[in-house]
Amino acid sequence: MRDQNREAARVWFEQAADDLRLAAHVAQGGFHADACFHCQQAAEKALKAVLYARRRRAITTHATQNLVDEAARHYPELAQLAPACRHLDLYYATTRYPNAIGGASPCRSFDADQSAAAIADAKAVIVAVAEALDFESPEAGENSTH
């Protein structure tokens, strides 16, 4: 991987890991819709890191299902993340917009079980991407940027 591509991938991955830390933090405070959204964002950014590492540019999709399918073409082991990505994609809009879930307030529609499952899914994505790209695992430096 060229240095420029690796640097782009590293920046996206670093932000993904930070989004996961934020999700865990806000979940502890009871903000479960926000935690679920940030988990989707963490997975999206981690998978975009893979594609940037492979010289892909102008990635406009937010669907982690599409991103993991494309990333798995380069790193077949990432295909195992498809179920987690399908789950996380459910949180892209529904956690932010009342009209995405029939007018119900997202802040009252998500619970601790959902945010815990989303955190586990996002962590699985980030750990797998770290291994694929040979980046430091987020467990080793969870608080490194704060």
Structure tokens at 72: 């798995």
Tens-digit pLDDT profile for residues 56-108: 887 888 999 999 999 999 999 999 999 999 999 999 999 999 999 888 999 99
Domain ranges, ordered by start, for the chain: 3-133
The pTM for the full model equals: 0.92
How many Cβ atoms from other residues are within 10 Å of residue 58's Cβ? Answer: 4
Structure tokens at 44: 């999206």
Cα distance between residue 144 and residue 48, in whole Å: 22
CATH of 3-133, one of 1.20.120.330, 3.50.50.60, 3.40.1280.30, 1.10.10.10: 1.20.120.330
Say if CB 74 and CB 50 are below 8 A apart: yes
Helix (H, G, I), strand (E, B) or coil at 74: helix
Residue linked to tokens 């699985």? 124
Structure tokens at 141: 């430096």
Tens-digit pLDDT profile for residues 4-26: 899 999 999 999 999 999 999 99
